[in-house]
Structure 1
C-alpha cells in the first residue's frame, strides 16, 4: 500500500509535511492531524482491514453530503485494497470548537432534513461496520425483516459465539425477535440514517457549523437514529427541540425507543462484555413481559 507521502502527492499535495500529531477519541483507528505546507488533514490509519473498511465510511459521508442538509468532512482519499500494510482515510480537517446553542440548533434542523432523504426499501446495498464489527446488508421491503435479520440476529449470533447469552437472555431475545412485528412498524418510512449517532460522532466547527462524522449509514426508521442519541447522552435539549420543530416524533416513539437501543447495547455487549448485559436484559424483559 502507498505511503502517506505518496497518497498526499496523489491527491495533489506534493508539499512537505510540517507537523503530524496523534489525535485521541477513537479506539479502532489511529488518527492524526497532519499539516503540510499546503493544507491540513484529518487522517485515519489501520492495518489488516477489509477492502471496504474505509470505503464504507467514505461512501456514507458522501451520501450525507449529497443531501445538502448537514455538513460532513470532505473525503480526499481512501484505500480499497485488503492487505497487511497500513490503510488510510484522508479527510478534511475540521477545527473543533465548543458546541453552542446555535450549533446544536443547526444540528437538529440539519438531521431532520437529512432524514427526509428517502430510500427504495430498507437496509443498504453493501456491507458496513459498526465499531470494528463487519455488518452485512441488503435492501428489503420490510423494516421489521431488516431490523430483525440483519441487525439483531447477527449480534445475537455473535453474542452466542462469545458465550454472552445465558439461558434466560438467549430465550428472551429469541422470543422478542420472533414477535418483533408486534412492536415495530413494518413500513415506517425509509430515511437515510447516520447509523452510529452517539454524542462523539458530531463536532461543532468554525462559525458554529455542526459536522457529522463516522457514519454507518443505512435506510431505515429515523427513530433509530434518535433513539441512539438518547442512549449515551451528548445531545442537548436545544438539539431535540430543533429536530422536533422540523420533524415531529410520532406518539409511539417512546414505545419503540428501547427496541432500537437494544441493537447498540448488543453491539457493546459483544465489543466490551457483560457490563452491558443488564441493560440488554432489562429491555428484553420489558417486551417479553408485554407480549406475555
Structure 2
C-alpha cells in the first residue's frame, strides 16, 4: 500500500478527509477513492456514510510496509556486486572491456587519474605535448621526473614528443636530459599535433573537445580498445615524422670560473648546494654567491636554467 504515497495528498484529498472526520458525508470522487485506498476512510455500504480512521495507525502500518520493502531492496543491492564480478569472465573473450570513456572535469581530476594509471604502467607510456613549454613548480617537475625514472627502472618503455621550441626552454630541457639519461626516448615535432597520453595500449588521455564552457584543463580518460589502438597508431605516425631531441647550445663566449665549474659538477652529480659546499670546503654563502654571479652573467633566472645550460656548455671540457 505504501506505493500509494508516491505523491503527497492533494488539497482536495486533505479537504475530503477533514470533512469526513468532522462527520460530513461527501459524494464519492477521485479524492475519496485515494483516501479509501490508503485506509484513511471507509464507506458504510448500508447507508453510504463515511467513517474516518486514525491516520496515526495508518501511518504506522504504511511505515512497516515501507521498512519491509527497504530491507528487501538492501538485500538486493548487496547481491549486485556478485553479478558485476562476472565481468572478469566476460571481458577476456570480447574486445569491449568496460565503459568507453570518462569525463574528468578539472586539472586535479586529470592529474590524479593520470598519476594513478601511469604508476601502474607495465609496458609503455607514450606522451605528446604540443603546447608551448612554461616554467612549472620545481616540486611538480621533480615528482614527475622521479615517476618517469621509476617507470624506466621497472622496464616500462617511455616515449615523449614535444613541440620543437621546447628545446630552448631551460626547465623542460633539464627534465628531458634527466629522463633521456635514464633510458627514455624523446623527439620533437614542428607544427600542430594532438595532445595525448597512452599507457600500456589500454588507456588514453585526451583534452576535452565536447563539453562547452568546461575547465581548460578538463579531459577524457578513454578505455575503448578501438579508440586507444587508433590513437596509438596516430602517435606512431607522428613519432616517425619527429626529430630526435637535440639540446640548443648556448653562447659559447660565456665561460665559468674554475670554482663555478667545481660547484656545477657537484650539483650535476645530484648534491645540494649545502652538500656541494661541504664537499668542496666552501661556505654556503660562497657557493650561493658563485651561482648568483654565473646566473647573472648568463642572463638566466633560475638554477634549473643554469644546469640546463651547463649540460651542453663547452666549459664542461675543462672541469
Which TM-score band (shorter chain)? under 0.3
Rg larger for: 2
Q: What's the TM-score once normalised by structure 1's chain length?
A: 0.26
Higher helix share: 2
